[in-house]
Amino acid sequence: MAQGSGGGFGRRSLLQGAAAGSAALALPALSSAAPAQARSGRPGAGWGVQTGDVTASSGLVWVRSDRRARMIVQTAATESFRHARTWHGPVVGAGGDFTGVTALHGLPAGEQIHYRVLLADPDDPRRTGEPVTGTFRTAPDRRRENVRFLWSGDLAGQGWGINPDRGGYRIYEEMRRRNPDFFLCSGDNIYADGPIPSRVTLPDGRVWRNVTTEEKAKVAETLAEFRGAFRYNLLDANLRRFNAQVPTIVQWDDHEVHNNWYPGQLLDDDRYTEKNADVLAARSLRAFGEYFPIRTLHPDRGGRVYRVVHHGPLLDVFVLDMRSYRNANSPGRQTDDRQGILGAEQLRWLKRELSRSRAVWKVIAADMPLGLVVQDGATDFEAVAQGDPGAPLGRELQMAELLRHIKRDRVTGTVWLTADVHYTSAQHYAPERAAFKDFEPFWEFVSGPLNAGGFPAVKLDGTFGPAQPFVKAPDRANTSPAETPQYFGEVDIDGGSGELTVRLRQEGGQVLFSKVLQPGRVGQ
């Protein structure tokens, strides 16, 4: 996002100036020391559970222990756990920050799955902690079943963290009540480059108070600090409750490492002793893989963030990584740019998988918008658009190649979803308005932030002919969540008609904009 810039936690680092709201947040009572130190009793899972990359027959279950433990998962059709199936997961330990993921396979399609995670002493399997429960729905295997999912991004940005006076990240409770099949997080899950202060005075004199931790008192540089940044959000009871009910599809963007970073960059930031963005990115990616269940990414084996998640006959979600393979931010005037923002290999993968997809709808989950001009300093550009409304240049060349492929291979039902800019909007791209005309019309929808500063709308670039029928953004930079609403998007796919409806919502549930798209079309 271009706007602005190990273990648990100790009681001494919590709620500086915010003790009054601590009970409402139900914070996990863990130590800031390594979990295995000086602990007696049975293993505990105070950070909750979560599931990810759920399909019609599979899913991943995540947990974090307070010490070395064997992860055991039980699944059943009911909350009683009669006729439960048992899955023996890994032994979690210090090497993975006591996190673990167990893969579930052979699940029934379109069913509610109840699960519980037990943590057992590896040396004495009879010693188990209290089970932590959750539930999720597998994707349907029949076209006539409806699908609902939500998306947004940008959490704990610009110093706006967990505020106990507001009930923490209350947007997650609102989204949970929408009962979606899954949640797509479009990046900036953490702000590794954004410390969380104990309090911030707002323009009107009110005081915003934050839950704070030692790791979030500075920018993240070490692996322990990155782990602490990912752990920070799990202090919020709303998010833990959400995670226990709603599977996630997660991607990353710049603030998982540093504002506007790109491979090979040396940071010009006095807050850092480690200036090499590649070193920081490797540490962050390891922590990212430890704290989110992602099918293609294992913390100890590398892997990749980009992937396609199949959600039954109606939907495929193409999760992009527009950060790890990009070229350097620049004025974007190159007439030949094969690396672009995706890298050549990811582009080949995306074209191939879009052509192979037989889903009615192909959601392209982009961590950055296409036609919004997102700058990086006075002369460089951070996203795809570079402010010149003429023929494609720079990173636009790669997007033009992709859009041309979608048209010529007659790939139907593409919809672009993103976050990043900290406001909500809808863009319709059409060749009759564009400088580049070899593509079919499509829609791009923007939502977020979840809990971060709001920023004014940026300009549109005319290369791909965007029109903006809706935008809602503040009129000044870095408005707090107490001053301007936070946003999330909702997508409903009707199993009977195949129609896809997008609703842009704000905190409180109000629908700001909606659009119904028809299935089976190359362009809308």
pLDDT at 183 over 80: yes
Task: Provide the domain count of the chain.
Answer: 2
Coil, helix or strand at residue 131 = coil
Residue that terminates a domain, selected from 84, 109, 138: 138
Whether 91 is covered by a domain: the verdict is: yes
Question: In which domain, by residue range, is 405 found?
Answer: 147-517
Cβ atoms of 211 and 18 within 8 Å: the answer is yes
Coil, helix or strand at residue 345 = helix
Is the same domain home to 181 and 237? yes
Coil, helix or strand at residue 237 = helix
pLDDT at 358 over 80: yes
Is the same domain home to 399 and 482? yes
Is the same domain home to 103 and 177? no
Whether 33 is covered by a domain: the verdict is: no
Whether 500 is covered by a domain: the verdict is: yes
Whether 479 is covered by a domain: the verdict is: yes
Report the Cα 492 to chain-centroid distance in Å: 19
Lookup result for tokens 């949640």: 183
Whether 8 is covered by a domain: the verdict is: no
Task: List the structure tokens of 325.
Answer: 């393979």
What average pLDDT score do residues 322-351 get?
97
CATH of the domain at 104: 2.60.40.380
- Rounded to whole angstroms, how far apart are CA atoms 349 and 361? 18
Task: Grade residue 8 by pLDDT with cuts at 50, 70 and 90.
Answer: very low
The amino acid at residue 72 is: I
Query: Residues for the chain: how many in total?
Result: 524
pLDDT at 75 over 90: yes
Cβ atoms of 419 and 186 within 8 Å: the answer is yes
Is the same domain home to 407 and 501? yes
- Using alpha carbons, list the distances in angstroms from residue 1 to 218, 448, 449, 470: 19, 11, 11, 21
Coil, helix or strand at residue 497 = coil
Residue that terminates a domain, selected from 103, 138, 173: 138
pLDDT at 253 over 50: yes
Is the same domain home to 247 and 108? no
- The reported pLDDT for the residue numbered 15 is 36
Is the same domain home to 127 and 153? no
Task: List the structure tokens of 334.
Answer: 């190159």
- The reported pLDDT for the residue numbered 26 is 56
- The reported pLDDT for the residue numbered 20 is 35
- Rounded to whole angstroms, how far apart are CA atoms 129 and 144? 41
Q: What is the pTM (predicted TM-score) of this model?
A: 0.93
Q: Where are the alpha helices (DSSP H) in 357-481?
A: 396-408
- Rounded to whole angstroms, how far apart are CA atoms 64 and 294? 15
Task: Grade residue 301 by pLDDT with cuts at 50, 70 and 90.
Answer: low
Lookup result for tokens 């602005």: 4
CATH of the domain at 495: 3.60.21.70
pLDDT at 37 over 60: no
- The reported pLDDT for the residue numbered 5 is 45
- Using alpha carbons, list the distances in angstroms from residue 356 to 306, 317, 337, 347, 359: 16, 13, 26, 14, 9
Is the same domain home to 337 and 417? yes
Is the same domain home to 282 and 425? yes
- The reported pLDDT for the residue numbered 27 is 60
pLDDT at 31 over 80: no
pLDDT digits (tens, 9 = 90+) for 109-160: 999 999 999 999 999 888 889 999 999 999 999 998 999 999 999 999 999 9
Beta bridge partners of 91: 70
| Terminal C-alpha separation, the chain | 28
* Helix (H), strand (E) at residue 136: strand 132-137
State the DSSP code for 272: -
Is the same domain home to 363 and 434? yes
Is the same domain home to 68 and 175? no
- Rounded to whole angstroms, how far apart are CA atoms 524 and 519? 9
pLDDT at 470 over 50: yes
Whether 18 is covered by a domain: the verdict is: no
pLDDT digits (tens, 9 = 90+) for 402-418: 999 999 999 999 999 99
Whether 352 is covered by a domain: the verdict is: yes
Cβ atoms of 362 and 410 within 8 Å: the answer is no
Is the same domain home to 235 and 278? yes
Cβ atoms of 62 and 51 within 8 Å: the answer is yes
Whether 273 is covered by a domain: the verdict is: yes
- Rounded to whole angstroms, how far apart are CA atoms 495 and 142? 9
Is the same domain home to 117 and 180? no
Give every CB contact of residue 184 below 8 A, 6+ residues apart in sequence: 149, 150, 151, 248, 249, 251, 317, 363, 365, 417
Residue that terminates a domain, selected from 138, 155, 172: 138
